[in-house]
Structure formats: structure tokens, C-alpha cells
Amino acid sequence: MENLVYVSGNLKKYMSVKEHFLENGISVDFLEQDLFEPEINDIEYISKMKAREAYEILEKPCFVADSGFYIDCYPGKPGYPGAFAKRSGVSSDIESLLKIMEGVQRRTCRFVDCLTFYDGNDFYTFYGVSEGTLAEEPRGNEMVKAKSNLWKVFIPNNCSKTLAEMTDIERKNRNDGSTSATEEFIKWYKNEYVEKRQKCKKL
């Protein structure tokens, strides 16, 4: 099985993705490369455009992963920041986010992950969702594996700790009903894509 290539400017995301793949016996190469992000609040569209750009750089099949953070009752902008979590500064300045959210009773929010694999002909897109609530204050420590600073203020459903407060085992085994775009992609890649390519080679 040929190595997959993950393209991202975020080394922490690669470390998280790599762990999932190694657990499934799949090697993943990494190209540290910032990719252009269209000014549109649509993670699927952004993911596909970045996957196409990554393919043009590598000239071989590869995948990218993007995420959005959606706050249901963000004042004046329900669902904000979405795909703009990083570019808006929300993820880097969580103190300002919490100040804006002061007094807001309903603090439900979610991470939505979007992974797109592009082989030069077709896009294959997978999603993962983690529902939860926004903490009243930052909790937890800086972690190498943290994909986002928002881990300090995100409390998954059925949990009392933020993602940043949890141990690796607690995060992996939490019972919040979350799904993983990476895991969905791995299952598809192993069970469908590789098998399909092997059949084509035999013809």
C-alpha cells in the first residue's frame, strides 16, 4: 500500500492525523505547506480547493483536513466563526471570545472536521462532528497534540472537562457521540479505494 500524503501548514494537526493512521497500519507522509483559503465560510468548499492546490504541488494523490467551530448563539452572528475560526482570530484570542460570550446562557457549540482526498480525478470528502458547550473560562494546559487553542474552552457533551484538561485516554474514550473525519476516511480508504485500485491494476 503506497504512503498517503497529508498537506498542511499545521504540524500539530499532522501529529494527530498520523497517530490515527499508524493505529490502522497505514503510513502517512507530510508536506508542511500553507495552502490558500478562499474567503468563504464553507469548510467543504475550502477543503476541496486546498486539496486541488495540494495535488497540483505534489502531482500525486493527497489529502487535506480543515475544521470549523460553530457557536450557536454567538451574539449577532449565530453559528460564528465557523470556517473563520483561525482567520477571525477567535481561536487565538479565546479571552476576547469569552468576553463577547459573557451573559449568553445557551453556550452550545461544535467542532466540524472536513477531510478531503483528491486523486487528480475525484474528490472524496469526509466529516466528523463533536458537540459540546463553551466553558466560562480557559481550562487546561498547552499540549503538543492540541489542534486548536479552542480545546481550552470546549467541553464535549457528557463530559465535565475541556479537551485540554483531558488525558489522551480520556479524549479517545469520551462518550460524547462524536465522529471523526479521519476515521471515516481511513475505513473508506482501506475497504474501498485501495481495493478498487488493486482491481484496476489486474485488468
Which residue type is seen at 148? Answer: S
pLDDT at 190: 87
pLDDT at 10: 85
pLDDT at 150: 95
20 is written with which cell numbers? 490515527
pLDDT at 195: 66
What is the biggest distance separating any 2 CA atoms in the chain, rounded to whole angstroms? 64
pLDDT at 2: 63
Q: What is the DSSP string of the chain?
A: -PPEEEEES-HHHHHHHHHHHHHTT--EEEEE------SSS-HHHHHHHHHHHHHHHHSS-EEEEEEEEEETT-TTSTT-EETTTTTTSTTT-HHHHHHHTTT-S--EEEEEEEEEEE-SS-EEEEEEEEEEEE-SS--S---TT-S-GGGGTEEETT-SS-TTTS-HHHHHH--S----HHHHHHHHIIIIIHHHHHHHHH-
Domains located in the chain, CATH noted: 4-202 (3.90.950.10)
Residues 12, 146 contacting (CB under 8 angstroms): yes
Per-residue pLDDT of the chain (203 residues; tens, 9 = 90+): 567 999 999 888 888 888 889 988 888 999 999 999 999 999 999 999 999 999 999 999 999 999 999 999 999 999 999 999 988 999 999 999 999 999 999 999 999 999 999 999 999 999 999 999 999 999 998 765 667 899 999 999 999 999 999 998 999 899 999 999 999 999 999 888 766 665 555 54
Among 119, 14, 107, 105, CA closest to 60: 119
